[in-house]
């Protein structure tokens, strides 16, 4: 039996994997740590191993997250796994977007093509599996966005009670519609976001409800597979850069851990660099990066990219570690830059929600500044689906608020009128 454990990223204190715990006694974040050399030996882990492996799950062929079972949650038995075949997302190469950017070798990994429309599903399959293994009574989160949508779908799949807590006054119905539809109970708390977070951890202690916010280290194990899958799709050739948005910095943390482990296991020889992109109005990580990580100043966040509208990122310390491992940088972009980049991604027939398009906006900025070179190989991550935020699209194109808007045109019912547009 291969052992994994929970380990504090600061003081190194260890806890068994069976303990329901999210922070160390010293207050810092926990990693799920696997015995990599034992795993490597037992499964003879190699590129060939993953290339030739046929993964099946519950009798179905299944790639994605559980293709990397051995390095995600090796002790999970097949009958414990709660999965909706997440992952296995496309890696697009698009001429229009590449030429707008001025890049030759550019790939977009589209995590909006997951079951509920965001990468959160990759984390949720693993964390929900762990909730079941720990015999928890319910799963909970505080979120108005993609986390609650994903939690709701996985709670349904696992046949476990799901609860979403949101602060009153911040309820945009469009954003929680998926959670409502998938049958999770949404509790509107007469308080603020901090009250919701406090209630979640109290619910864990007193009610055996398992928190699935990104502070949950099992979520990050699932999100690691975005990197593993990309490397495999690129035939294990390491790109020069990974570019992606940063909000609570769960992906930043997970991606760094994935590459660090891939390097330790001998899958890759060089480390790619990270460029984490934040929205200007929600850029505490960018500000901290500029002051050499001397301090994190929490902000009141404001941006149209709601998925990264976060003023006090939960995974800050893990994210710093990832930047050190990858010689990474942080950039910030305006809402206008995000929307214009989005119009390019959308018009390429690919499309993604605003937070995802911070990736492309940031990349454009870093190319103009010469930080990223046109001849380098770049992988950008699109984190969420275009349909997550239709109102933004309507405002941009029909409301003509955008620089590249494409409004509909009214015409008389005559073929000559139609012909004008061909």
Ligand X SMILES: *Cc1c(COP(=O)(O)O)cnc(C)c1O
Contacts for 317 with CB less than 8 Å, ≥ 6 apart:
9, 10, 28, 29
- At its nearest, how many Å lie between ligand X and the CB of residue 318? 10
Q: Which residue, among 147, 109, 124, has the nearest Cα to 306 in the 3D structure?
A: 147
State which of positions 64-123 bind ligand X (CB under 6 A). 118, 120
Q: What pairs with residue 189 in β-bridges?
A: 167
Residue of the chain from 17, 356, 386, 402 that contacts ligand X (CB under 6 A): 356
Binding mask 177-216 vs ligand X (x if CB under 6 A, - otherwise)? -------------------------------------x--
Binding mask 155-174 vs ligand X (x if CB under 6 A, - otherwise)? --------------------
Q: Which residue, among 385, 395, 374, 332, has the nearest Cα to 121 in the 3D structure?
A: 385
- Assess 245 for contact with ligand X (CB under 6 A): yes
The alpha carbon dihedral of 332, 257, 97, 112 has a sign of: negative
- At its nearest, how many Å lie between ligand X and the CB of residue 353? 5
Piece of 101-109, 160-168, 247-255, 335-343 that binds ligand X (CB under 6 A):
247-255
Rounded to a whole number of angstroms, the distance between the first and last alpha carbons of the chain is 66
Element (H, E) at 180: helix 173-181
- At its nearest, how many Å lie between ligand X and the CB of residue 89? 13
Q: Could you give the CA distance from residue 247 to residue 340 in angstroms, rounded to a whole number?
A: 20
Q: Token pair of 369, please? A: 């500044």
Piece of 64-72, 187-195, 199-207, 241-249 that binds ligand X (CB under 6 A):
241-249
Q: Could you give the CA distance from residue 153 to residue 118 in angstroms, rounded to a whole number?
A: 12
Piece of 3-11, 182-190, 351-359, 408-416 that binds ligand X (CB under 6 A):
351-359
Q: Token pair of 204, please? A: 């864990």
Q: What pairs with residue 161 in β-bridges?
A: 138
**Whether the Cβ atoms of residue 386 and residue 352 lie closer than 8 Å to each other:** yes
- Assess 353 for contact with ligand X (CB under 6 A): yes
Closer by beta carbon to ligand X, 41 or else 297? 297
| Helix axes of 225-233 and 250-264: crossing angle, nearest 10 degrees | 60
Residue of the chain from 62, 178, 251, 332 that contacts ligand X (CB under 6 A): 251
Residue of the chain from 355, 357, 363, 379 that contacts ligand X (CB under 6 A): 355
- At its nearest, how many Å lie between ligand X and the CB of residue 247? 3
User: Which 3 state secondary structure label does DSSP give 188?
Assistant: strand
- State the DSSP code for 112: G
- Assess 247 for contact with ligand X (CB under 6 A): yes
Piece of 3-11, 40-48, 337-345, 348-356 that binds ligand X (CB under 6 A):
348-356
Piece of 7-15, 353-361, 368-376, 391-399 that binds ligand X (CB under 6 A):
353-361
State which of positions 119-148 bind ligand X (CB under 6 A). 120, 145-146
Residue of the chain from 307, 360, 361, 378 that contacts ligand X (CB under 6 A): 307
**Whether the Cβ atoms of residue 81 and residue 129 lie closer than 8 Å to each other:** yes
Name the maximum alpha-carbon separation found in the chain. 75
Binding site for ligand X (CB under 6 A): 118, 120, 145-146, 214, 245-252, 307-308, 353, 355-356, 383-384
């Amino acid at each position: 039996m291969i052992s994994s454990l929970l380990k504090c990223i600061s003081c190194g204190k260890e806890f068994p994997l069976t303990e329901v715990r999210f922070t160390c006694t010293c207050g810092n974040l926990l990693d799920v740590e696997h015995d990599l050399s034992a795993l490597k030996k037992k499964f003879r882990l190699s590129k060939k191993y993953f290339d030739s492996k046929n993964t099946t799950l519950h009798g179905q062929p299944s790639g994605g997250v559980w293709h990397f079972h051995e390095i995600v949650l090796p002790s999970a038995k097949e009958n414990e796994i709660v999965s909706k075949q997440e992952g296995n997302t496309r890696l697009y190469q698009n001429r229009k977007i590449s030429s707008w950017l001025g890049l030759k070798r550019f790939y977009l990994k589209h995590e909006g093509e997951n079951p509920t429309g965001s990468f959160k599903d990759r984390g949720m399959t693993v964390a929900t599996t762990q909730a079941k293994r720990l015999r928890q009574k319910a799963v909970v989160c505080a979120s108005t966005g993609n986390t609650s949508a994903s939690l709701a779908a996985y709670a349904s799949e696992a046949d476990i009670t799901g609860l979403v807590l949101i602060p009153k006054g911040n309820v945009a119905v469009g954003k929680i519609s998926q959670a409502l539809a998938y049958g999770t109970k949404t509790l509107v708390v007469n308080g603020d976001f901090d009250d919701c977070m406090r209630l979640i951890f109290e619910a864990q202690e007193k009610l055996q409800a398992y928190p699935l916010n990104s502070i949950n280290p099992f979520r990050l194990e699932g999100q690691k597979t975005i990197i593993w899958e990309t490397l495999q799709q690129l035939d294990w050739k390491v790109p020069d850069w990974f570019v992606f948005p940063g909000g609570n910095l769960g992906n930043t943390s997970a991606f760094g851990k994935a590459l660090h482990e891939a390097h330790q296991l001998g899958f890759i020889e060089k480390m790619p660099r990270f460029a984490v992109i934040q929205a200007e109005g929600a850029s505490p990580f960018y500000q901290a990066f500029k002051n050499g990580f001397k301090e994190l100043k929490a902000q009141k966040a404001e941006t149209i990219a709601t998925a990264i509208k976060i003023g006090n990122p939960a995974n800050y310390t893990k994210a710093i570690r990832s930047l050190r491992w990858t010689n990474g940088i942080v950039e910030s972009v305006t809402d206008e830059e995000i929307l214009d980049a989005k119009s390019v991604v959308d018009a390429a027939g690919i499309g993604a929600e605003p937070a995802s398009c911070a990736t492309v906006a940031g990349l454009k900025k870093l190319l103009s500044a010469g930080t990223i070179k046109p001849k380098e190989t770049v992988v950008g991550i699109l984190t969420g689906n275009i349909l997550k935020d239709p109102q933004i699209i309507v405002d941009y194109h029909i409301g003509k608020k955008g620089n590249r808007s494409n409004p509909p045109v009214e015409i008389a019912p005559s073929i000559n009128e139609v012909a004008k547009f061909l």
